[in-house]
Structure 1
Amino acid sequence: MDRLLPTPEAYELLDLTRELADGELAPRVDDFEARGEFPREVIRTVGRAGLLGLPYPEEVGGSGQPYEVYLQALEILAGRWLAVAEAVSVHTLSCFPVYAHGGEQLRKFLPDMLGGELLGAYCLSEPQGGSDAASLTTKAVQDGEAYVVSGTKAWITHAGRADFYNVFCRTGGPGPQGISCLLVDAATPGIAALAREKTMGLRSSPVAQLAFDGVRVPADRLVGTLGSGFRIAMAALDAGRLGIAACAVGLAQAALDYAVSYAREREQFGRSILDFQGIRFMLADAATGVAAARALMLSAARLKDAGRPYSAEAAKAKLFATDTAMKVTTDAVQVLGGYGYVADHPVERYMREAKVLQIVEGTNQIQRLVIAKSL
């Protein structure tokens, strides 16, 4: 598809992303998804190609690209292998607290984070507090030159596989003002990844609860200031929601492309099913939805790039793009009929994967609350 990009370098970058996605991701996705194996080396390859640090400045190890370019690269990855694109999105989100709020002691880790040698995870949700993040109960008590962390985090992408965790924990009283953020080395004694969740889709992406049992974290691993954790978390999620919107657009585009290709070749009643108005209109609606979702996503990204408020626009993009992905992937299955329901074709996987995008980085009901509050 035609893309309007801000620089000639951006076109080259997306060409490189497409080449890597076609060569390294597309041939492997079915095998890794079937086995439920996390593609750590593939993600390391993505990192070494410079795709894990796209929106961060070159002086800290990033690629210095506008957010709108990063999101379009993420869209391409998602169209080949959603679990890898989600890993890139989660990792990019995990680097934000250190980049935006970490002092010199923490920012020294950024080159390895952004280069793909260190993989991150974002630990905000808890078993009893998903959408209500301000009620989290994981505690960090200061003991000399360390914080002692105890509690359980839930729905953690890369649990047990990440090299570092952003852990949001309670260091003060109740409410959001009592929450702080710690950068925790995954090898620290006392951290245990519990049994992997048996997920509907994204089976090559490990998701599990993380238990912290008296984990001692050096005091200089505090990100920002005491009590600033909730603000850091919400700022990170604004950007992360655009990452999920990009994943949704890429997935929906892949489903649409496959459905169109199938409809062109499949014959019934002596002609291609693409000639039937019922199919043509379904695909026309899907193409319109994908284009609208992409436009919303890029509009919000350009606000972010310009330093303008974009929280509500990110929520709109995430809401619309993920709802669109769910509809387009469901319709793609319908276009294929019985063949859409079997694993011989990727659209059944696309449909299973689309569902989680309506849930992560704030459910779509939460997005509606954010949007309504902004009116």
Structure 2
Amino acid sequence: MNQSQDGKGYFTEERIMIRDTARAFTMREVLPVANALDGPDGEIPMDLRQKMADMGYFGITIPEEYGGLGLGAFEYCLVAEQLARGWMSVASLMARGQGGMIKRVMTEEQKRAYLPRVVRGEFLNASSLSEPGTGSDLASISCRAVRDGDDWVITGNKYWCTFADGSDFMTVFARTAPPPSAAKRWMGISCFMIEKPRGTLPKGVSGAKIPKIGYFGWNTLELSFDGCRVPASALVGEEGMAFRIMARGLETARAHTAARGIGLAQGALEDATAYAQERMQFGRPIAEFQAIRFKLATMATEVEAARQLLYHVCNEIDQGRRCDKEASMAKYFATEMAERVTSEALQILGGAGYTTLHAVERYWRDARLTKIFEGTSEIQQRIISDQMLGKSEVDKWITDTAFEKAWGQK
């Protein structure tokens, strides 16, 4: 296909169409809903969810043989950026499709049974990784799963599980064996896929809503697993090897978070630019003042720099090359940028920006979260520096030749 100069040759006519269609969908369907419903009691409407399914947004990275679009991380992040420009929660909802990070380790039978339903928006996921005492250090999770005959019994607490109640299944990570040593605590963790009726929690699981200052449109819950019994078939992948699933899945997840941060910053930049051209002070638009013009120039430069880094990372992912360091760089740079740019946009709007009459305050609140989830900025710096100074033992384990070969064949 013809190459565009947009994106340094990354763009084909198809990708331009995907991006522009997502932009139009966001401005028409997502932004008005966000402006009307964003708040502690707002909920992403079911009809918007269905429209996303009709657009194919829940199956962007699912192979065509299962009903998906069969595209890559690049297209996935193109759409995510545009959706986040309207409402980050909707861009995040898209990630509850795609088959989740367990897609690559599903059996062929599981793929044929579940993935077509994912594409239709009928089988969406909620991932349960973090715990009350375990945030970014996922190797230290303590929630236990014990084998009991033909079942597994899960006991423990989980935290920050967004969409647990609204999802159709949950991906739960639990420890099935003690680690062989403190230095290898990432070993012995397994992954379970727990099906459940939408709008409920699994039997043996209770939840409490966590009050948030943003990321509205759905609930984020603290979960208590009290002898939750699931069949042996709920185990996904090899027993005790799930940390690899988390680690490899987080490359795309962090690229997705970078895309969300860029979308928030782009929305704030556009709104601030429009406001600066309309707002009159001292007899002329404030866009004519150098202080404002230079703010906008800096904001636009930072947004574009983050976008180009993200394109590089997505291309590496789609080429099948390991890029955990680069994915962390993109996530770190884009989310730090998003907080700065949205804050500057709010400053340009002045008092108006500190009201809910403008979307900038939403972008600002949600941008702050991007520096925390999918690994904090500090965790990204640790990953980057570990790669620079010598791989850690866990990275050597994750990139084991046998595992890499099996991963590539999925």
Normalised TM-score (structure 2): 0.87
Structure 1 stretches of 4+ moved >3 Å: 1-7
- In structure 1, which of residues 254, 269, 274 is the aligned counterpart of residue 282 of structure 2? 269
- State how 1:291-310 maps to structure 2 within 5 Å: 291-310=304-323
Provide the secondary structure at the position in 2 that maps to 1:137.
coil
- State how 1:245-256 maps to structure 2 within 5 Å: 245-256=258-269
CA distance in structure 2 between the aligned counterparts of 1:299 and 1:111, rounded to whole angstroms? 30
Return the offset for 1:104.
2.8
Corresponding position: 1:361 with 2:374: yes
Q: Percent identity?
A: 39
Question: Contact 2:273 / 2:296 at 8 angstroms: preserved in 1?
Answer: yes
Unaligned runs of 5+ in 2: 180-184, 389-410
Unaligned runs of 5+ in 1: none
CA distance in structure 1 between the aligned counterparts of 2:101 and 2:13, rounded to whole angstroms? 27
Question: Contact 1:54 / 1:62 at 8 angstroms: preserved in 2?
Answer: yes
Instruction: Name the structure 2 match of 1:110.
Output: 115
Question: Contact 1:14 / 1:73 at 8 angstroms: preserved in 2?
Answer: yes
Instruction: Name the structure 2 match of 1:27.
Output: 32
Instruction: Name the structure 2 match of 1:192.
Output: 206
Corresponding position: 1:124 with 2:129: yes
Question: Contact 2:10 / 2:311 at 8 angstroms: preserved in 1?
Answer: no
Corresponding position: 1:333 with 2:339: no
Alpha-carbon deviations, 1:34-91, whole Å to 9, x = none?
3623215122321221011112211122211121121111100000111111221344
Q: How many residues of Structure 1 are paired with residues of Structure 2 in the alignment?
A: 372
Alpha-carbon deviations, 1:155-187, whole Å to 9, x = none?
011021111111000101132111000101134
Instruction: Name the structure 1 match of 2:75.
Output: 69
CA distance in structure 1 between the aligned counterparts of 2:168 and 2:212, rounded to whole angstroms? 23
Q: What's the Cα RMSD here?
A: 1.6
- In structure 2, which of residues 147, 152, 155 is the aligned counterpart of residue 147 of structure 1? 152
Instruction: Name the structure 1 match of 2:182.
Output: none
- In structure 1, which of residues 78, 90, 108 is the aligned counterpart of residue 84 of structure 2? 78
Provide the secondary structure at the position in 1 that maps to 2:28.
helix
- In structure 1, which of residues 155, 164, 168 is the aligned counterpart of residue 173 of structure 2? 168
Q: What amino acid is aligned across from residue 183 of structure 1 in structure 2?
A: M
Return the offset for 1:138.
0.8
Normalised TM-score (structure 1): 0.95
Provide the secondary structure at the position in 1 that maps to 2:38.
helix
Alpha-carbon deviations, 1:246-283, whole Å to 9, x = none?
00000000000000100011111111111111111111
Return the offset for 1:206.
1.2
* Cα distance, 1:353–1:287 mapped onto 2, change above 3 Å: same
* Cα distance, 1:129–1:34 mapped onto 2, change above 3 Å: closer
CA distance in structure 1 between the aligned counterparts of 2:355 and 2:84, rounded to whole angstroms? 21
Instruction: Name the structure 1 match of 2:59.
Output: 53
Instruction: Name the structure 2 match of 1:14.
Output: 19
CA distance in structure 1 between the aligned counterparts of 2:234 and 2:120, rounded to whole angstroms? 21
Question: Contact 1:150 / 1:212 at 8 angstroms: preserved in 2?
Answer: yes
Provide the secondary structure at the position in 2 that maps to 1:110.
helix
